[in-house]
Amino acid sequence: MVLPQVSKSENLQEVGRKIRHYREKKKMSQLELAEAIGVTQNTIYLIETAQSEMKLEKLFRIAEVLDVTPNKLLPGEAKTESNKFFEFEHMMKQLSEADQELIFNMVMPCMKRLLPNT
């Protein structure tokens, strides 16, 4: 897969816009997000305005607080199979153990039928 060439600055801007979008969608302030991940409000401001980079660990914490997969915060529209599995896993973790078991019991017979030699 070939992604369009964009500058580091453009990537940071897109990540910042997405974080702001999902933060506002969840009706959270910058301060609330900052407190939830253990940083200052200024750090969130700098990330959202593409004035600061962040490590993947922080991106994952932000995604968790915003109830989205980290992939939704990354630049571009590229989707891979592993992203689908990650998104599925993220959604499963939000369910109760009973609901996880229910989904598992529904999916496994389908998987065994599609992959009979496993």
3-state secondary structure 4-70: CCCCHHHHHHHHHHHHHHHHHHCCCCHHHHHHHHCCCHHHHHHHHCCCCCCCHHHHHHHHHHHCCCH
Tokens representing 104 are 């598992």
Distances, alpha carbon 72 to alpha carbons 18, 41, 100, in Å: 8, 22, 23
pLDDT of residue 1: 38
Spell out the per-residue pLDDT of the chain, length 118, in tens: 344 444 678 888 999 999 999 999 999 999 999 999 999 999 999 999 999 989 989 999 999 999 998 888 988 754 454 567 767 777 888 889 999 999 999 988 988 888 877 6
Question: What is the distance of C-alpha 1 from the center of its chain?
Answer: 21
pTM (predicted TM-score): 0.62
Tokens representing 68 are 């989205």
Tell me which residue of 18, 68, 16, 66 sits closest to 46, measured CA to CA. Answer: 16
